Protein backbone atom coordinates (compact mmCIF):
# COMPACT_ATOMS: atom_id res chain seq x y z
CA UNK A 1 0.00 0.00 0.00
CA UNK A 2 2.77 2.50 0.90
CA UNK A 3 5.55 0.92 -1.11
CA UNK A 4 7.27 -0.45 1.99
CA UNK A 5 9.18 -3.65 1.53
CA UNK A 6 11.61 -5.69 3.53
CA UNK A 7 15.07 -5.84 2.00
CA UNK A 8 15.73 -9.29 0.59
CA UNK A 9 19.50 -9.19 0.90
CA UNK A 10 21.64 -6.78 2.89
CA UNK A 11 24.50 -5.38 0.79
CA UNK A 12 27.87 -6.74 1.95
CA UNK A 13 31.20 -4.93 1.71
CA UNK A 14 33.80 -6.60 -0.56
CA UNK A 15 31.10 -8.86 -1.95
CA UNK A 16 28.30 -6.69 -3.34
CA UNK A 17 30.19 -3.38 -3.23
CA UNK A 18 33.94 -2.88 -3.32
CA UNK A 19 35.86 -0.50 -1.08
CA UNK A 20 36.96 1.60 -4.05
CA UNK A 21 33.26 2.19 -4.85
CA UNK A 22 32.36 3.70 -1.47
CA UNK A 23 33.38 7.26 -2.40
CA UNK A 24 31.22 8.31 -5.32
CA UNK A 25 33.07 11.55 -6.16
CA UNK A 26 36.04 13.85 -5.53
CA UNK A 27 34.05 17.08 -5.14
CA UNK A 28 33.97 19.51 -2.23
CA UNK A 29 30.73 19.20 -0.27
CA UNK A 30 29.11 21.16 2.54
CA UNK A 31 27.57 19.62 5.63
CA UNK A 32 25.56 21.55 8.18
CA UNK A 33 24.76 20.99 11.84
CA UNK A 34 22.73 23.06 14.29
CA UNK A 35 22.95 23.49 18.04
CA UNK A 36 21.13 25.53 20.66
CA UNK A 37 22.25 26.99 23.95
CA UNK A 38 20.78 29.19 26.63
CA UNK A 39 22.79 32.08 28.00
CA UNK A 40 22.58 35.47 29.69
CA UNK A 41 24.33 38.69 28.74
CA UNK A 42 23.98 42.43 28.57
CA UNK A 43 25.36 45.04 26.20
CA UNK A 44 27.57 48.02 26.97
CA UNK A 45 27.15 51.43 25.30
CA UNK A 46 23.68 50.48 24.19
CA UNK A 47 20.44 52.30 24.99
CA UNK A 48 17.71 49.73 24.72
CA UNK A 49 16.37 46.64 26.45
CA UNK A 50 19.62 44.72 25.90
CA UNK A 51 21.57 47.04 28.21
CA UNK A 52 19.97 45.11 31.08
CA UNK A 53 20.92 41.58 32.04
CA UNK A 54 18.71 39.17 30.06
CA UNK A 55 18.83 35.78 28.37
CA UNK A 56 18.28 34.11 25.03
CA UNK A 57 17.91 30.67 23.60
CA UNK A 58 20.50 30.95 20.85
CA UNK A 59 20.69 28.72 17.78
CA UNK A 60 23.98 28.16 15.96
CA UNK A 61 24.15 26.80 12.41
CA UNK A 62 27.51 25.62 11.06
CA UNK A 63 28.27 25.11 7.36
CA UNK A 64 31.48 23.08 6.98
CA UNK A 65 32.98 22.03 3.67
CA UNK A 66 35.65 19.62 2.60
CA UNK A 67 36.43 16.58 0.51
CA UNK A 68 35.13 13.12 1.19
CA UNK A 69 37.41 10.33 2.32
CA UNK A 70 37.59 6.78 0.93
CA UNK A 71 34.31 5.97 2.70
CA UNK A 72 32.48 8.95 1.18
CA UNK A 73 32.45 10.95 4.44
CA UNK A 74 33.63 14.53 4.79
CA UNK A 75 33.19 14.68 8.57
CA UNK A 76 31.02 12.64 10.88
CA UNK A 77 28.12 14.62 12.34
CA UNK A 78 29.06 13.13 15.70
CA UNK A 79 32.54 14.64 15.37
CA UNK A 80 31.01 18.08 14.78
CA UNK A 81 28.93 17.59 17.90
CA UNK A 82 32.01 16.59 19.90
CA UNK A 83 33.93 19.69 18.76
CA UNK A 84 30.92 21.82 19.70
CA UNK A 85 30.65 20.25 23.16
CA UNK A 86 34.39 20.20 23.97
CA UNK A 87 35.61 23.47 22.46
CA UNK A 88 32.70 25.89 22.14
CA UNK A 89 29.57 25.08 24.11
CA UNK A 90 31.43 24.99 27.43
CA UNK A 91 31.85 28.76 27.18
CA UNK A 92 28.25 29.42 26.16
CA UNK A 93 25.55 27.14 27.53
CA UNK A 94 23.91 28.38 30.75
CA UNK A 95 26.66 30.96 31.16
CA UNK A 96 26.92 34.68 31.71
CA UNK A 97 28.57 35.48 28.38
CA UNK A 98 30.14 38.73 29.56
CA UNK A 99 32.17 36.60 31.96
CA UNK A 100 33.05 33.52 29.88
CA UNK A 101 33.85 35.02 26.46
CA UNK A 102 36.94 37.10 25.70
CA UNK A 103 36.58 40.77 26.56
CA UNK A 104 34.05 42.07 24.04
CA UNK A 105 30.60 43.51 23.88
CA UNK A 106 28.53 40.32 23.68
CA UNK A 107 26.63 41.27 20.54
CA UNK A 108 25.58 38.55 18.12
CA UNK A 109 28.00 40.13 15.62
CA UNK A 110 30.99 39.71 17.96
CA UNK A 111 29.94 36.29 19.19
CA UNK A 112 29.47 34.76 15.73
CA UNK A 113 33.05 35.65 14.79
CA UNK A 114 34.36 34.09 18.03
CA UNK A 115 32.34 30.90 17.35
CA UNK A 116 33.62 30.81 13.76
CA UNK A 117 37.22 31.11 14.95
CA UNK A 118 36.82 28.37 17.56
CA UNK A 119 35.41 25.91 15.00
CA UNK A 120 38.04 26.84 12.39
CA UNK A 121 40.82 26.29 14.96
CA UNK A 122 39.37 22.91 15.96
CA UNK A 123 39.22 21.71 12.34
CA UNK A 124 42.84 22.80 11.74
CA UNK A 125 44.00 20.88 14.85
CA UNK A 126 42.67 17.54 13.59
CA UNK A 127 44.68 15.90 10.77
CA UNK A 128 41.75 13.72 9.66
CA UNK A 129 39.86 16.86 8.60
CA UNK A 130 42.56 18.04 6.19
CA UNK A 131 40.99 20.47 3.76
CA UNK A 132 37.89 20.96 5.92
CA UNK A 133 36.91 24.54 6.49
CA UNK A 134 34.17 26.63 7.98
CA UNK A 135 32.09 28.18 5.21
CA UNK A 136 29.65 30.00 7.48
CA UNK A 137 28.33 30.26 10.99
CA UNK A 138 24.91 31.74 11.76
CA UNK A 139 24.06 32.75 15.29
CA UNK A 140 20.35 33.27 15.89
CA UNK A 141 19.68 35.45 18.91
CA UNK A 142 15.94 35.13 18.38
CA UNK A 143 14.00 32.89 15.99
CA UNK A 144 13.98 35.67 13.37
CA UNK A 145 17.26 37.56 13.99
CA UNK A 146 20.78 36.32 13.34
CA UNK A 147 24.34 37.40 12.67
CA UNK A 148 26.54 35.52 10.21
CA UNK A 149 30.25 35.07 9.61
CA UNK A 150 31.35 33.73 6.21
CA UNK A 151 34.70 32.31 5.20
CA UNK A 152 35.23 34.84 2.42
CA UNK A 153 34.74 37.68 4.89
CA UNK A 154 36.92 36.12 7.57
CA UNK A 155 39.86 35.27 5.30
CA UNK A 156 39.95 38.19 2.87
CA UNK A 157 39.43 41.14 5.18
Cβ neighbours for 67, distance < 8 A, ≥ 6 positions apart: 26, 27, 28, 29, 74, 131
41 in catalytic set: no
User: What pLDDT score does 1 carry?
Assistant: 60
User: What pLDDT score does 3 carry?
Assistant: 81
Each residue's pLDDT tens digit, 63-72:
999 999 999 9
User: What pLDDT score does 130 carry?
Assistant: 84
User: What pLDDT score does 156 carry?
Assistant: 65
Residue count of the chain: 157
For the beta carbon of residue 93, count every other beta carbon within 10 angstroms.
16
Paired residues of 55 in beta bridges: 40
Instruction: Compute the average pLDDT of residues 61-84.
Output: 96
Look at residue 157 and tell me whether its pLDDT is greater than 80.
no
> pLDDT band at 5, cuts 50/70/90?
confident
E strands of the chain, at which residues?
Answer: 28-41, 54-67, 95-96, 133-142, 145-150
Sign of CA dihedral 104, 107, 110, 112: positive
Q: What is the mean pLDDT of the chain?
A: 95
- Which residue would you say has higher pLDDT here, 8 or 96? 96
Catalytic residue, from 44, 54, 94, 125: name it: 94
117 in catalytic set: no
User: What pLDDT score does 67 carry?
Assistant: 96
Each residue's pLDDT tens digit, 87-97:
999 999 999 99
**Phi, psi of 121, rounded to the nearest 5 degrees:** -60, -45
Catalytic residue, from 42, 50, 109, 148: name it: 50
Cα–Cα dist 95/55, whole Å: 10
For the beta carbon of residue 137, count every other beta carbon within 10 angstroms.
27
Catalytic residue, from 41, 89, 135, 141: name it: 141
> pLDDT band at 43, cuts 50/70/90?
very high
94 in catalytic set: yes
User: What pLDDT score does 155 carry?
Assistant: 85
Single pTM value for the model: 0.93
Cα–Cα dist 132/69, whole Å: 11
Amino acid sequence: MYGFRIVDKLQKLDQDIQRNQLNYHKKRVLVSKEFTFDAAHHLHCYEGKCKNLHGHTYRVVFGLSGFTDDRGLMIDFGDIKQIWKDKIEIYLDHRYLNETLPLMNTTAENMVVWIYEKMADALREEPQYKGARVEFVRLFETPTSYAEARREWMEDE
